[in-house]
Amino acid sequence: MYQRAAEDNGVKYTTLYNGIKKLKTPEGEWIPQKVFTFNSKYTVNQVFNQVQESLLVEYIIKCSKINYGLTCKQITKLAYDYSLKSHIKMPKAWSENCIAVAQYLLEFPNETFKSDGHVLLCVACGQSVSCLQRSLITQHINTSKHKENKVRKIKFNQNFITSSSLNSKSTFDTDLCRTLIKADIPLTKLKNPTFKMFLEKYTGQAVPEESTLRKNYVEVNYNETLSKIRDIIGNGPIWVSVDETTDVDGRYIANCVVGKLNSEPSKPIVLSCGELTKCNHQTIARFFNDAMSLLWPQGIHHENVLLFLSDGAPYMVKAGKVLTTFYPKMLHLTCIAHGFHRVAETVRAQFPLVDSLIATIKKVFLKAPSRVLKFKELYPNLCLPPEPIITRWGTWLAAVKYYSNNFEKIKDVISNLDSDNAISIAKVKDIIQNNELKNNLAYILANFCFLVEVIKKVETSNLTLVISLEIVENAANTLSEVQGESGVIIKNKLNDVLAKNVGLQNIKTIRNILLNTNENNGSMDIEFAPSDISNMKYAPLTSVDVERSFSRYKSILRPNRRTFKFENLQMYIVSNCFEDDCNEDE
């Protein structure tokens, strides 16, 4: 009977038999008024019954509809509180966990732990810590991540208390403004609600408006930067580099970069950025003097300015002559890298056929995706032809090197292009067929392309004066061995550039003294003290640092940031370019 009933209801015979057996006495009699419920075997450790569970589920769903719902930890706490208030029997671990949390808070008072009575939270790390075993907590405390976060949290709290009690300006606002400027993040990004919410969530601070930072804190950071620069430079001695450019708004912009001269290498520092009414020797000299007044507001140390670097423009040379009247020990040196670039420009002028090839191929692939695709299909591992910029030092010679090394491949690509598609394609095909082109490329590659590496070497930071001059003299000796009519013209150009560099001879004399050689030791035009000569050990020979500051200037003044007032832009540039060691708080 039982077997047939089990088969009809889809239940195992043994399960049905054992269930019925529980409803009967050992004698086989039915137990009267016995209510029996068949449950799953997994309900042995169940805390809530089905009604209580349905009430909890209904409440949790209702919370999710009203707001954003409850987290897993909040649901766990809700279940514990519900069972506690309803006097429902619960696992011992639930109660023991709450007791353990309280004990751990008392046991580790110096740690950044907090609790809502159920979960132990590490505030420094922003995560919960398991309370199942004490070893898990001590393991978390001993991790390097927790130690670093704890130190950072304590330091932040100390800085906040100190700043709020002593300063009228908010330290958080000052640090936020400095961070945005250093990272070149526009202050207007604070208007982005997501970014602002993120900062407020993880800093616990009220984020100011963009106008508040611009009006009240940009100048504060600028003054702090100037104070740090004055501390680094002290009374000198220093070298100064000044150059001028024209920005996208047509303004004449001059930048001044300074560095301390001593027996150890020092970092170049952007001291000033100014707008010139016109570009001549008078405005440059005035800008130079204003920059020195900014560095030494209590009085300019005229005798501690030992070196002035600029390009070889006539107005810069004239400004150098004017300034030596007020700065008696100052040597004026025109940029060596710029001089080699002028030699490279002479090479370009001597070989118009090669220059035409480079310029025309640049046009062939400019905004021509189908031709670029054809190039990649034929030679997938070869990069596209370089696009030299005349004002960037050495890029034309680098392009010559590329075409010399890949001439046959470039010729093959051009031959696969249709001359009817563009005039530039037909023109470059005619140029490539000229036999003189190969000869010119070979001659330039053999005799002048080494200037690319020379320019890169002299641009390197922290070179000693001895090494820098060795690079220059080796390059001059290499060029002096070049044969041919063009070689003579280019050698004469280099000699002319070096001869016009009036401060170079004095620099060589200082080098000889540092090397303890007897050559030309008595021919200096300026009387340097022994300490001044020693401090020239790491004197730079190029104005590349001020050129790099212009690159930073143009990057900051990008098309979507043209509303900068120049007085704010000046302060922004100086603060952005200044690089401290970031070890002040360590």
The predicted pLDDT at position 60 comes to 82
Confidence of residue 308 (pLDDT cuts 50, 70, 90): very high
Contact 129, 114 (CB under 8 A): no
**Cβ(338)–Cβ(459) under 8 Å?**
no
399-431 confidence digits (pLDDT tens): 989 989 988 888 888 888 888 888 888 898 888
Burial class (CB in 10 A: 0-12, 13-18, 19+), 479: buried
Query: What is the chain's mean pLDDT, rounded?
Result: 82
Spatial CA neighbour of 124 closest among 190, 188, 202, 32? 202
Lowest mean pLDDT among 67-71, 506-510, 580-584: 580-584
Which of 93 and 122 is assigned the larger pLDDT? 122
Angle, in degrees to the nearest 10, between helices 504-514 and 465-480: 120
Q: Is the pLDDT of residue 240 over 90?
A: yes
Contact 344, 392 (CB under 8 A): no
- Any idea which residue has 């190029």 for tokens? 542
H or E element that contains 245: strand 238-246
Distance of alpha carbon 357 from alpha carbon 360, whole angstroms: 5
* DSSP state letters, 14-83: HHHHHHHHHTB-TTSPBPTT-------GGGGG--S-HHHHHHHHHHHHHHHHHSS---HHHHHHHHHHHH
- What is the Cα–Cα distance from 71 to 63, expressed in whole angstroms? 11
Which is more confident, 156 or 120? 120
Range in 36-40, 102-106, 343-347 the model is least confident about: 36-40
Pairwise CA distance, residues 195 & 201, whole Å? 10
The region of weakest confidence among 162-171, 245-254, 448-457, 565-574 is: 162-171
How confident is the model over 517-527, as a mean pLDDT?
A: 62
Q: For residue 156, what pLDDT is reported?
A: 63
Question: Helix, strand, or coil here: 115?
Answer: strand
Instruction: Compare 583 and 155 and report the one with higher pLDDT.
Output: 155
Q: Give the mean pLDDT of 135-154.
A: 80
pLDDT in tens, 23-68: 776 666 666 555 555 555 555 567 777 777 888 888 888 887 776 6
Q: For residue 424, what pLDDT is reported?
A: 87
502: which 2 tokens? Answer: 């009036």
Q: Is 489 left (phi over 0), alpha (psi -120 to 50) or beta?
A: alpha
